[in-house]
Homo-oligomer: A and B are copies of this chain.
Amino acid sequence: MRYPNGKTYKKGEIKKRKTPSDISISSANRGMDLENDINESNDYYREKNIALIYKRPTPINIVKVDYSKGARITDAYFEKQSTTDYNGVYKGKYIDFEAKNTKSKTSFPLANITSHQIDHLKRVNEQGGIAFFIIGFETLNEIYLLDSSFVIYFYENGDRKSIPYEVFQKEGVLIKQGYHPRLYYIDAVEEKYFSK
């Protein structure tokens, strides 16, 4: 299997897993609220002037507005996100990412990723932006940053249905969890994209 970085993937080549002591606080017992954790982390990074990342609002298609009530929306529906959930700026660079959870221990299913999102990620890469996924393996209590090139690769090649867990271990960056911020995901961005 050929990877975006040109390396060939072989089973057994897995990097040593980080030990539980690398994770500050275990959140195994309280379930994983990835969206909430990322929003909290973004608040932290914003307050500390470390990064400026916002969640994009879910696009809403407005059908009817009642102006007699001061522009009250009385009929509308949610639309599927055609881009990603988050974007912003870190050290002047454009940052763009999607966050998803899975209960699987063995792979991340790509069923919920749309072709519009893949198209968007490609365009971000073409523009020299930084595009990645934050994937939470709930059952394992592990959260990884994985560069978008791998997501694009697995979406477009092979069975197209999932990314094996081993790919996250080998090519992803394990995101340290803590209390405040909940996710040190900018550390992972720094390690992956800025420490060359």
Partner of A78, one of B71, B90, B91, B93: B71
Question: Is A57's beta carbon under 8 Å from chain B?
Answer: yes
- The residues of B that contact A94 with a CB separation of less than 8 Å are 88-89, 92-95
- The residues of B that contact A77 with a CB separation of less than 8 Å are 70-73
Taking A52-B124, A72-B77 as contacts, is the C-beta distance between A87 and B90 under 8 angstroms? no
Question: Is A123's beta carbon under 8 Å from chain B?
Answer: yes
A40 vs B26: C-alpha distance when bound (angstroms): 48
Tallying the copies of this chain within the complex gives 2
A59 vs B92: C-alpha distance when bound (angstroms): 25
Taking A52-B129, A71-B78, A76-B76 as contacts, is the C-beta distance between A93 and B92 under 8 angstroms? yes
Q: Do A75 and B78 touch across chains, with their CB atoms under 8 A apart?
A: no
- The residues of B that contact A70 with a CB separation of less than 8 Å are 77
Q: Do A127 and B73 touch across chains, with their CB atoms under 8 A apart?
A: no
Q: Do B127 and A92 touch across chains, with their CB atoms under 8 A apart?
A: yes
Q: Do A129 and B89 touch across chains, with their CB atoms under 8 A apart?
A: yes
Interface residues of A in 62-121 (CB under 8 A from B): 62, 70-78, 83, 87-96
A residues sitting closer than 8 Å to B (CB atoms) are 46, 49, 51-52, 54, 56-57, 59-60, 62, 70-78, 83, 87-96, 123-124, 126-129
A87 vs B128: C-alpha distance when bound (angstroms): 15
**Sampled A-B contacts (8; CB under 8 Å):** A52-B124, A56-B57, A71-B77, A73-B73, A73-B75, A87-B88, A91-B128, A94-B94
Whole-angstrom distance between the Cβ of A139 and the nearest chain B Cβ: 28
Whole-angstrom distance between the Cβ of A47 and the nearest chain B Cβ: 10
Residue of B nearest to A94 (CB): B89
A49 vs B119: C-alpha distance when bound (angstroms): 12
Partner of A127, one of B56, B91, B123: B91
- The residues of B that contact A89 with a CB separation of less than 8 Å are 94, 96, 124, 127-129
- The residues of B that contact A83 with a CB separation of less than 8 Å are 54
